């Protein structure tokens, strides 16, 4: 199929892009990598009157570190993140997760900002924003604001961004050098969206868990931090019983949906299994790096 008729704009600056969004009263859509938006338009699931293409606008594709925080421009391609030495050194969990995103052609065009703004609950990068306790920077007609990961995702395909705002930067605190990490995902094929996934970051001292961060994808309308499961690990340690209890609590914390890929109960079961695997692998990695 072909999309409905739309106007096309390729602004050369962020101010020009914001002016265009204001002109269309928030009805225009921002085009980044286009890996989700264009198929939706082709199937007439999205019918914006105009596209505001950010690809010719300089200054939004970078990866740099400042004061212990890795700052990634919203137009940075996923493929660039995959091969970034800085990401590999400071955010190894993100590097592991981005390899699961789609396939080579989609990662070569897809952007980190586009994935986060699209907010597909089965996508890996929104889960990373939660697991790494990150934040995003948005620019709109009233200036710039910072939105924490916990406040960014509102519901399926919906974020805290207003229709006249553009996501400009992603900020992720660098992981401790001795933190263990893991992403466990179940999908029908490599590169497919996750039916369920769990990411874990564990910082340990012996059997004691100093810090635990767990997040999911594919298990509800938004990517979710599993804070109750984290609390169990931080209070009870990383023994088998504590890990099993945390995994069970994780499964009870999600609000899975039923669709053609699996039932809600199946996704809840996967959450328990994947959470246990991710925690054990992350804990083992933290032990090796002590």
Output the pTM of the full model.
0.95
Domain 63-173 has CATH 3.30.465.10: yes
Q: Does 38 score more than 60 pLDDT?
A: yes
Q: Are the CB atoms for 215 and 199 separated by under 8 Å?
A: yes
Picking from 182, 274, 161, 154, the residue whose alpha carbon sits closest to that of residue 219 is 274
Query: How many alpha carbons fall within 13 Å on the CB side of residue 89?
Result: 9
Query: How many alpha carbons fall within 13 Å on the CB side of residue 8?
Result: 6
Q: Which fold has domain 181-288?
A: Enolase-like; domain 1 (3.30.390)
pLDDT tens digits, one per residue of 157-208: 999 999 999 999 999 999 999 999 999 999 998 888 899 999 999 999 888 9
Q: What is the pLDDT of residue 191?
A: 84
Helices 227-236, 240-253: axis angle to 10 degrees equals 170
Q: Are the CB atoms for 166 and 138 separated by under 8 Å?
A: yes
Give CATH 3.30.390.50 domain extents, the chain.
Answer: 181-288
Q: What is the pLDDT of residue 288?
A: 62
pLDDT tens digits, one per residue of 107-143: 999 999 999 999 999 999 999 999 999 999 999 999 9
Give counts: helices (H), strands (E), the chain.
12, 14
Give CATH 3.30.43.10 domain extents, the chain.
Answer: 7-53
H or E stretch at 148: strand 143-148
Give CATH 3.30.465.10 domain extents, the chain.
Answer: 63-173
In CATH, the number for domain 7-53 is: 3.30.43.10
């Amino acid at each position: 199929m072909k999309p409905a008729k739309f106007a096309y704009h390729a602004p050369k600056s962020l101010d020009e892009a914001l002016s265009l969004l204001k002109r269309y009263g928030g009805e225009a859509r921002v085009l980044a990598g286009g890996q989700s938006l264009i198929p939706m338009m082709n199937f007439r699931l999205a019918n914006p009157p105009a596209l505001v293409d950010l690809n010719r606008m300089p200054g939004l594709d970078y990866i740099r570190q400042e004061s212990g925080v890795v700052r990634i421009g919203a137009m940075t391609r996923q493929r660039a993140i995959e091969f970034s030495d800085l990401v590999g050194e400071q955010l190894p969990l993100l590097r592991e997760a981005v390899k699961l995103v789609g396939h080579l052609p989609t990662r070569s065009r897809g952007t980190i900002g586009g994935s986060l703004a699209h907010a597909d609950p089965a996508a890996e990068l929104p889960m990373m924003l939660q697991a790494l306790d990150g934040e995003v920077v948005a620019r709109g007609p009233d200036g710039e604001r910072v939105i924490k990961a916990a406040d960014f995702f509102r519901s399926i395909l919906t974020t805290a961004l207003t229709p006249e705002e553009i996501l400009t930067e992603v900020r992720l605190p660098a992981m401790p050098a001795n933190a263990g990490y893991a992403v466990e995902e179940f999908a029908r094929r490599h590169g497919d969206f996750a039916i369920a996934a769990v990411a874990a970051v564990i910082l340990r001292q012996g059997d004691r868990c100093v810090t635990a961060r767990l997040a999911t994808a594919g298990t509800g309308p938004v990517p979710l931090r599993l804070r109750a499961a984290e609390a169990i690990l931080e209070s009870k340690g990383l023994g088998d019983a504590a890990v099993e209890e945390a995994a069970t609590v994780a499964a009870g914390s999600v609000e899975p949906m039923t669709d053609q890929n699996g039932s809600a109960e199946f996704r809840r079961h996967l959450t328990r299994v994947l959470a246990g695997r991710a925690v054990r692998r992350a804990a083992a990695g933290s032990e090796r790096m002590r």
